[in-house]
């Protein structure tokens, strides 16, 4: 099994000209747009497999009312969680709730709805296609109608991005940003335009597998 040091993985974000840094900047812009359109208070955000939450951090730092943002982060690596929590608090965020654990478990999502913004960044590339669809079904259960999911997925062959878009559509979402189709990584956003649904019944929603065969 491939092992990755997920704390060290984030260091590439610090190289200004790297592809990873460019990807980060695009995610931050998209998240900022999603925050900007929120009228209510608080703005409830959940980041699944949050890592160091750098994508959310860069948006919160530029958002006009960071104190209104309440974030819940689910992340397996306690070092990343410590980094994320400290950085978000330093940025003046209204609240941070942290769950160090396996984000693939349904129980973490009980009572979490309704979310204004759900971040699934750096997740789908590590899930089987079946688990991607199950995660999209979960998204429908926890995002408020009108709320936004921001997600990423590499376009390595076989490119699963069109299939992901079609799953979002079949689960009540409408695409609002698909980015440049020539980019090696899709950074996209969908809005829940259908009705919400209850949480899925099964406790295991997804299994995060590094190097999963798509
Ligand atoms: C590709 S990184 C993405 C981090 C961040 N969302 C980003 O885009 O910069 C994946 C993250 O998922 C975390 N992770 C791996 N398996 C997990 C699991 N089962 N539950 C929660 N987090 C997990 C890793 O520790 C890592 O920080």
How many A from CA of 57 to the centre of ligand 1?
15
pLDDT score for 213: 60
Q: And the tokens for 159?
A: 């490119």
Please provide the CATH number assigned to the domain covering 20-192: 3.40.50.150
Residues 13 and 21: beta-carbon distance below 8 Å: yes
Ligand 1: residues whose CB is within 6 Å?
6, 49-51, 54-55, 74-77, 80, 102-104, 121-122, 208
Quote the pLDDT of residue 189: 98
Whether residue 44 has pLDDT greater than 50: yes
Query: pLDDT for 142-196, tens place per residue?
Result: 999 999 999 999 999 999 999 999 999 999 999 999 988 889 999 999 999 999 9
**Ligand 1 atom at minimum distance from 10 CA:** 9
Q: What is the average pLDDT across 5-25?
A: 96
Q: Where are the domains of the chain?
A: 20-192
Whether the pLDDT of residue 2 is over 90: the answer is no
Q: Which residues lie across from 69 on neighbouring strands?
A: 43
Residue from 59, 75, 104 whose mutation best tests the ligand 1 pocket (most atoms within 8 A of CB):
75
pLDDT at 183: 92
Would you call 122 helix, strand, or coil by DSSP? coil
- Given a cut of 80, whether residue 6 has pLDDT beyond it is yes
Mean pLDDT for the stretch of residues 203-211: 95
Residue 95, burial from CB neighbour count under 10 angstroms (0-12, 13-18, 19+): middle
Give the nearest ligand 1 atom to 54 CA.
9
**Share above pLDDT 70 across residues of the chain, in percent, rounded to a whole number:** 99
| Gap from CA of 169 to ligand 1 centroid (Å) | 25
Q: Please give the average per-residue pLDDT across 59-72, as a whole number.
A: 98
Instruction: Quote the pLDDT of residue 211.
Output: 80
| Residue 114 pLDDT greater than 50, yes or no | yes
pLDDT over threshold 60, residue 103: yes
Give the CA dihedral 136, 151, 50, 26, nearest 10 degrees: -170
* Kind of pairing between the strands at 43-48 and 69-75: parallel
Q: What is the pLDDT of residue 212?
A: 83
The residues facing 174 across adjacent strands are 191
Coil, strand, or helix at residue 15?
coil
Mean pLDDT estimate for the chain: 96
Q: What is the pLDDT of residues 147-158, one digit of tens each?
A: 999 999 999 999
Closest by CA to 106, choosing from 209, 9, 198, is: 198
The pLDDT score that the predictor gives to residue 214 is 47
Spatial separation of the C-alpha atoms in residues 21 and 17, rounded to whole Å: 7
């Amino acid at each position: 099994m491939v092992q990755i040091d997920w704390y060290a993985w984030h260091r590439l974000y610090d190289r200004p000209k790297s592809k990873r840094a460019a990807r980060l900047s695009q995610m931050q812009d998209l998240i900022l747009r999603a925050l900007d359109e929120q009228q209510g208070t608080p703005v409830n955000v959940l980041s699944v497999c949050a890592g160091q939450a750098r994508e959310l951090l860069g948006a919160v730092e530029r958002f006009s009312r960071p104190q209104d943002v309440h974030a819940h982060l689910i992340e397996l690596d306690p070092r990343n969680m410590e980094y994320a929590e400290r950085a978000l608090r330093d940025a003046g965020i209204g609240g941070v709730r942290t769950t160090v654990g396996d984000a693939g478990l349904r129980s973490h999502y009980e009572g979490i709805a309704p979310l204004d913004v759900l971040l699934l960044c750096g997740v789908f590339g590590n899930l089987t296609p079946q688990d991607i669809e199950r995660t999209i079904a979960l998204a429908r259960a926890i995002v408020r109608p009108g709320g936004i999911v921001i997600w990423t997925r590499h376009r390595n062959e076989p490119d699963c991005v069109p299939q992901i878009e079609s799953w979002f559509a079949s689960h009540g979402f409408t695409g609002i940003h698909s980015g440049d189709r020539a980019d090696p990584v899709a950074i996209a956003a969908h809005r829940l335009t259908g009705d919400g649904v209850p949480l899925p019944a099964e406790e295991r929603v997804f299994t995060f597998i590094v190097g999963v065969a798509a």
